[in-house]
Chains A and B, each alone.
Chain A
Amino acid sequence: MKIPDARGPISGGLFRLLADGTGDVSAAQGALHRLIEGQLALTDDVIDDGDVQLALFCLYELHYGGLDGVDNRWEWNPGLITLRQMLEEPFELALRSAARSSAGSVQPAPAAGLDSDAVADLLFGLAGQDGGPGMSRHVAKKATLGQLREFLVHKSIYQLKEADPHTWAIPRLTGRAKAALVEIQADEYGGGRPDRMHSALFARTMRGLGLDDVYGGYVDAVPAVSLAAVNMMSLFGLNRRLRGAIAGHLAIYEMTSSRPNQLYGNGFRRLGFGADVTAYFDEHVEADAVHEQIAGRDLAGGLVEAEPGLLPDVLFGATAALAIDARLAAHIMGAWETGTSSLKPPVPAGV
Chain B
Amino acid sequence: MNQKPQESSNDGAIVICPDGPILVRGEFEIVTPSGGAVPRTRKTVALCRCGASAIKPYCDGTHKLIGFRTEYPATPGTKEAT
Interface residues of A, Cβ cutoff 8 Å to B: 117, 120-121, 124, 127-128, 174-176, 179, 183, 186-187, 191, 196, 257-259, 262, 283, 285-290, 292-294, 297, 302, 305-307
Contacts and interface: CB of A to CB of B under 8 A. Distances in A.
Interface in B29-82: 41-46, 54-55, 58-62, 64-65, 72
B interface, size bucket: 20 to 34
Contact of B42 (A121, A176, A191, A302): A191
Given A196-B41, A293-B17, A285 B5 contact: no
Given A175-B2, A305-B3, A262 B42 contact: no
Most A CB contacts (10 A, CB to CB) among B2, B5, B46 go to B46
Given A286-B58, A293-B17, 11 more contacts: A174-B3, A183-B25, A187-B44, A191-B42, A259-B60, A259-B62, A285-B55, A286-B60, A290-B44, A290-B59, A293-B15
A290 B18 contact: no
Interface of B: 1-3, 5, 15, 17-21, 23, 25, 41-46, 54-55, 58-62, 64-65, 72
Given A128-B64, A183-B44, A289 B21 contact: yes
Most A CB contacts (10 A, CB to CB) among B25, B60, B61 go to B61
A121 B44 contact: no
A294 B42 contact: no
Contacts of A121: 18
Contacts of A305: 3
Name the prevailing secondary structure of the A interface residues: helix
Name the prevailing secondary structure of the B interface residues: loop
A345 B55 CA distance: 40
Contacts of B17: 293, 297
A306 B42 CA distance: 28
Contacts of B60: 258-259, 262, 285-286, 289
A13 to B, nearest CB: 41
Contact of B61 (A179, A191, A289, A306): A289
Given A128-B64, A285-B61, A293-B21, A187 B43 contact: yes
A255 to B, nearest CB: 8
A258 B1 contact: no
A141 to B, nearest CB: 17
10 contacts: A117-B18, A120-B18, A128-B64, A176-B3, A187-B43, A191-B41, A262-B60, A290-B44, A294-B23, A302-B3
